[in-house]
Amino acid sequence: MREEPAETERLTRQAIRRDPPDIILTNYKQLEFLLVRPEDRGLFTSTLRYLVLDELHSYRGALATEIACLIRRLKAHTGRAPGEIVAMGTSATVASGAGGAEALAAFATVLFGETVHPHDIIAEHFARPAPEGPLRIPSPAPLSDDDLLGFDPSDEATVVALAERLTGWRAPQSGALAERVSTLLSANAVVAVLEDVFSQPASVSDAAKALRARVVGRNERTDDELRREVEALDAWTSAFRKQRARSRGAVCFRRPVHSRRCGPTPIFSGSSSPGH
């Protein structure tokens, strides 16, 4: 059954031209066509106030040059001089680090043709969970690479079994999956270390080294054992993200966006530095 459009929604090109909307969602290729077609140029007037580009990290090289020129054509068409529009760029995967805000501000200034200062950059900030009593040190059972490859994230019993193997503790027998397993994460020394390590981009090797240095007893384990422990926690975290969203239990490090890179749940996610 087809849903009726919202009062402010336009579904056809004719409706958009007849009653121009206040907000237009498009992409750079379609924006090029809109500025070329005489019947569509009227959509963009001197009332243009905001320009938002998503996935800012994807604009690099020749494409970034084309987008910069397109933005200047749009501003020229609408008669908007530098400083008369609010330019915004968003990205969840722009790199961070020393000098990141300065580099991103310089990149955005060139891309938008607007002055962007380092203090204009909104970066992400992490909300660390408050400790729930003294940290406990889990004693995981030995894991093999086959155990990781055979892990079935769609099977709740398998998810619980892996969590119990990773801690050496028993989960409650009833309740939502996230609630049952979150009891094994609370005051967990290994999880606390990984939350700290992955608050910035890091590798499995980095995490393994941190466990060896900061968790009692982990200096007796081999590199492969520590690697499998980190990867198993990653696999488990990925498996119950949906359940955690339904049940607001303990906060744990989030699934990595890039292979083996992750961090705790952010309060606000934004750009930190240019990925060009």
pLDDT tens string 112-162: 999 999 999 888 776 776 767 789 999 888 888 888 888 888 888 888 888
* Arithmetic mean of pLDDT over the chain: 82
pTM listed for this prediction: 0.58
Do the beta carbons of residue 126 and residue 269 sit within 8 Å? no
Reading the block at residue 68, the tokens are: 């910069």
Interval 95-104 mean pLDDT? 80
Question: What is the residue-wise DSSP string for 11-65?
Answer: -SHHHHHHS--S-----HHHHHHHHHSHHHHTTS-TT--EEEESSGGG--HHHHH
Question: What is the residue-wise DSSP string for 250-273?
Answer: ---PPPPSSTT---PPEEE----S
Do the beta carbons of residue 167 and residue 138 sit within 8 Å? yes
Range of lowest pLDDT (22-36, 129-143, 200-214): 129-143
Q: Cβ contacts of residue 184 below 8 Å, gap of 6+?
A: 138, 163, 164, 166, 167, 169, 171
212-252 tens-digit pLDDT: 999 999 999 999 999 999 998 888 777 656 555 444 444 44
pLDDT computed for residue 259 by the predictor: 34
Q: Cβ contacts of residue 185 below 8 Å, gap of 6+?
A: 191, 250, 252
Express the helix, strand and coil content of the chain in percent, nearest 5 each: 45, 5, 50
Separation CA 89–CA 108 (nearest Å): 8
Range of lowest pLDDT (72-81, 95-104, 108-117): 95-104
From 230, 227, 249, 231, select the one nearest 240 (Cα to Cα).
Answer: 249
**E strands present in 61-134:** 86-89, 125-126
Do the beta carbons of residue 116 and residue 109 sit within 8 Å? yes
Name beta bridge partners: 52.
88
Rounded to 5°, the CA angle 250-195-135 comes to 65
The amino acid at 135: L
Residue 175 pLDDT greater than 70, yes or no: yes
Instruction: Provide, rounded to the nearest whole percent, the portion of the chain with pLDDT above 90.
Output: 43
More confident of the two residues 103 and 131: 103
